[in-house]
């Protein structure tokens, strides 16, 4: 009789939290993803930063974060300028974001390539 020595890791729970102008993905081991946005005017937000820990990429977590911001913008009647490269690429690929995309304004006007815009403090 053969014994199966294969170990299967349980799927780690990932919890989504809203923190100010950010959505954060946390696990028991810490923050693994985030998306941040800023208010440009009363009707417009700029998504300025998206990050997913490399160990968690390939699970559509960045898209889920983006969808949370988009849904909140829809609920509040806001437009979005996708300034970070990830958000801009997703907006270009996905026509379902057209209703919130404020592409009348230049995203580069609001981007800062030297700032992470992180909502969390890294140690």
Residue 78 CB partners (closer than 8 Å, separation 6+): 43, 44, 45, 72, 100
pLDDT tens by residue, 73-104: 999 999 999 999 999 999 999 999 999 999 87
For 87, counting Cβ atoms within 10 Å of its Cβ (0-12 exposed, 13-18 middle, 19+ buried), the class is buried
Is the pLDDT assigned to residue 7 strictly greater than 80? Answer: no
- pLDDT confidence bin for 117, thresholds 50/70/90: low
Domain ranges of the chain: 15-109
Report whether pLDDT(5) > 50. no
- The C-alpha torsion from 31 through 57 and 110 to 100, rounded to 10°, is -100
Query: Which of the listed CATH numbers 3.40.50.280, 2.60.34.30, 2.40.110.10, 3.40.630.30 matches domain 15-109?
Result: 3.40.630.30
Q: How many CA atoms lie within 13 A of 65 on its CB side?
A: 32
* Mean confidence (pLDDT) of the chain: 84
Per-residue pLDDT of 46-74, as tens digits, reads 999 999 999 999 999 999 999 999 999 99
């Amino acid at each position: 009789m053969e014994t199966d020595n294969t170990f299967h890791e349980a799927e780690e729970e990932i919890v989504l939290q809203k923190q100010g102008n950010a959505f954060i993905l946390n696990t028991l081991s810490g923050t693994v993803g985030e998306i941040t946005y800023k208010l440009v005017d009363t009707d417009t937000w700029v998504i300025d930063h998206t990050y997913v820990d490399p160990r968690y990429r390939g699970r559509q977590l960045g898209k889920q974060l983006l969808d949370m911001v988009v849904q909140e913008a829809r609920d509040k009647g806001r437009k979005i300028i996708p300034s970070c490269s990830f958000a801009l690429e997703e907006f270009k690929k996905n026509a379902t974001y057209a209703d919130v995309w404020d592409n009348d304004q230049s995203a580069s006007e609001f981007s800062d390539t030297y700032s992470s815009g992180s909502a969390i403090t890294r140690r």
